[in-house]
Amino acid sequence: MSSSKDGRRVVITGTGVVTPIGLDVPEFWTSIKAGKCGVSELGGFPLEDLKILIAAQIKNFDHKARLRHFKRDKIIMHADRYSWFAAAAADEAVKQAGLEVPFVDPYRTACIVGSGAGGLVTFEKSYRDLFIENKRATHPLTLLRIIGSSAAAHVGIEFGVKGPTFATCSACSTATHAIGAARDYIKHGMVDVAIAGASESVINYGTMKAWQALHVLSPEGCFPFAKKRNGTVLGEGAGILVLESLEHAQARGAKILAELVGYGMTSDAKDMVNPDIEGPSEAMRLALEDAGLAPGDIDYLNAHGTATLINDRNETNAIKRVFGSYANKLPVSSTKSMHGHPLGAGGGIEAVACIKAMEEGILPPTIGLDEADAECDLDYVPNVARPKKLNYVMSNSFAFGGLNAVIVLGPPPA
């Protein structure tokens, strides 16, 4: 990864989300400002012997209504749920960007839409059909539904992307890696426009059993940095950005929402489950260096903040290592307290939250924070959104396997 000082400047002109607290960006941002909680009782499939009975599920999402205007992708209506979310979020982002569809210069565009797990809803349905219902075959589109790059392909087909089109997969850092890769492709002149982010839909019986076995899910709620926290809460959804070179955006008179000024990525290379301090710290340091910024230039940090005991303490200590004494003045919050942990989609959804925070000068809160852990002693913007002028913001994504990705966003170029 080379410095942002080399190559073209990269800006953001479109945002899109599908989340448990809002099916589009306006609804999502209204919920963030209000501190709305998207965690509720688990439902929609047989719960059988599950012990964890809560999740941040997306409800009332009608894919037929949301995607009925799609013209080029002939089978999107028959895709997996995670592809529906990606398609809906990408559609919102492309419309906000004001790009002509299909894209005018298709080989100069990219579509990098990742997923940590792909079509797990389809996997479970197919296995139930075969091994419980004793059906002789699965749906003919089963294979296409489960592939982790299907969302990227669906989006690319609909919008006419003929340049690099693929998925990233790095667990909970997936979306941020996708955004970073897209940034580099534009910066180095491979493409002029990119659709980037990630989508996830994994809430079913088998996934809940798997996460339950790892003992990292809370039976009560997602309370990042709180003394009472006892695990994370699974979420689902999609977060998508439209990125362009500054020159391309200016040439067509696009409204620029923000500039992607810094990107850093590292790997702990130590443990599959337990996070380290060195890896996240170095990823943040590299993102600052790439942006050409000092720690004191960051006005807000959107934390990975999963509400697991070790992650929140380690992230707090990593922030202190990078930001020094300024860490005590830096507002930090975790929006996962509201929309749950959407795994690979988290970095995309949180990037959108950061862009809206910059646009309106409002710090997203960390809800459910009645009493902080003694070892989590930063300003986590507890419970209530707070006004603050924001020039530069940082967003952290840290994943199982010690895979770390961090972006820094700045104001639209003058």
Q: Within 13 Å of residue 187, how many CA atoms lie on the same side as its CB?
A: 22
Active site residues: 172, 304, 341
Q: Within 13 Å of residue 356, how many CA atoms lie on the same side as its CB?
A: 23
Please identify which residue in the block is written with the tokens 């300024």: 326
**In 193-275, which residue ranges form alpha helices assigned H by DSSP?**
205-214, 246-251
Q: What is the full per-residue pLDDT of the chain (414 aa) written as tens digits?
A: 444 457 999 999 999 999 999 999 999 999 999 999 999 999 999 999 999 999 999 999 999 999 999 999 999 999 999 999 999 999 999 999 999 999 999 999 999 999 999 999 999 999 999 999 999 999 999 999 999 999 999 999 999 999 999 999 999 999 999 999 999 999 999 999 999 999 999 999 999 999 999 999 999 999 999 999 999 999 999 999 999 999 999 999 999 999 999 999 999 999 998 888 999 999 999 999 999 999 999 999 999 999 999 999 999 999 999 999 999 999 999 999 999 999 999 999 999 999 999 999 999 999 999 999 999 999 999 999 999 999 999 999 999 999 999 999 999 998
Q: What pLDDT, on a 0 to 100 scale, did the predictor assign at position 273? A: 87
What are the extents of the domains in the chain?
Answer: 10-251, 260-410
CA proximity to 8, closest of 306, 247, 310: 247
pLDDT tens figures, 59-78? 999 999 999 999 999 999 99
User: What is the second-level CATH architecture of the domain 260-410?
Assistant: 3-Layer(aba) Sandwich (3.40)
Q: Does domain 10-251 have CATH number 3.40.50.300?
A: no
Same fold, 10-251 and 260-410: yes
Q: What is the DSSP string of 173-202?
A: THHHHHHHHHHHHHHTTS-SEEEEEEEE--
Q: What is the DSSP letter of 35?
A: T
pLDDT tens figures, 167-182? 999 999 999 999 999 9
CA proximity to 275, closest of 312, 235, 324: 312
* CA gap 311, 305 in Å, rounded: 7
pTM of the model: 0.97
What does the block give as tokens for 390?
């924001």
